[in-house]
Amino acid sequence: MSIRDWPEGERPREKLLARGSAALSDAELLAVLLGSGSRGKDALALGRELIAGAGSLGALLARPERQIRAGGLGPAKHARIAAALELARRSLAEQLREQPSLGNPRDSGDYLSARLRHLPYEVFGCLYLDNRHRVLAFEELFRGTIDGASVHPREVVRACLAHNACAVIFAHNHPSGVAEPSAADRAITRELRDALQLIGVRVLDHLVIGSGEPVSMAARGLI
């Protein structure tokens, strides 16, 4: 049976308009985004299949192109998913820039999680702040395992000077989903803190992004 033959209140698009987006399941939201199904399946069945094939919604959103290809879908549907993800990231970035200052890890955690959580590889990024702790910019600086060999303090110092930053918040993701700071995480954070002290830039926090809430190294007393 096609979605068009369903009771109107149960169709994903009509349900969203009547009850709000929070009333929809992950697959229903994906069905609205896809707009249509493929041969032999409606948009909802296709959404469920894509999520099941990826293993989770997060895995699907991390690398939608892989699942889109596996599902035999074209570039238009891939583009819709990518555009929706980018809109969400930009909205969070806009909210972050509009804050008068960043006062605690939750202020930046949502945005940094949206940028880094679903990546299948490790990324080290930096949120640059002015002297009132307002956001200047975010930048991905390094990719790969976070240790002294891959994160270079001189490059971080150079980037802070280029952005005229007075303070920074570091963030990196653990693709395993476990957000516990490692010994290497703690060591490179201390090294970066000491290097940036020489140019008057304060390290406010280092957030480790996993599958749940980000872990604040500052809150753990590790900065």
Q: Mention every residue, 6+ apart, whose C-beta is less than 8 A from residue 168.
A: 126, 127, 128, 129, 156, 160, 196, 201, 202, 203, 204
Neighbours of 37 (CB within 10 A): 18
Site of tokens 């949502």: 110
pTM of the entire predicted model: 0.68
Full DSSP string of 168-205: EEEEEE-TTS--PPPHHHHHHHHHHHHHHHTTT-EEEE
pLDDT > 70 in the chain, percent: 85
Q: Supply 111's token pair.
A: 């945005």
**Residue pLDDT, tens place only, 25-81:** 988 888 888 888 777 788 888 888 888 877 777 667 666 666 555 555 677 777 787
The sign of the torsion formed by the CA atoms of 106, 170, 89, 176 equals negative
Nearest CA among 3, 11, 215 for reference residue 112: 215
Q: In the predicted model, what is the mean pLDDT of the chain?
A: 83
**Residue pLDDT, tens place only, 97-148:** 777 667 666 778 888 887 888 787 899 999 999 998 888 999 999 987 766 5
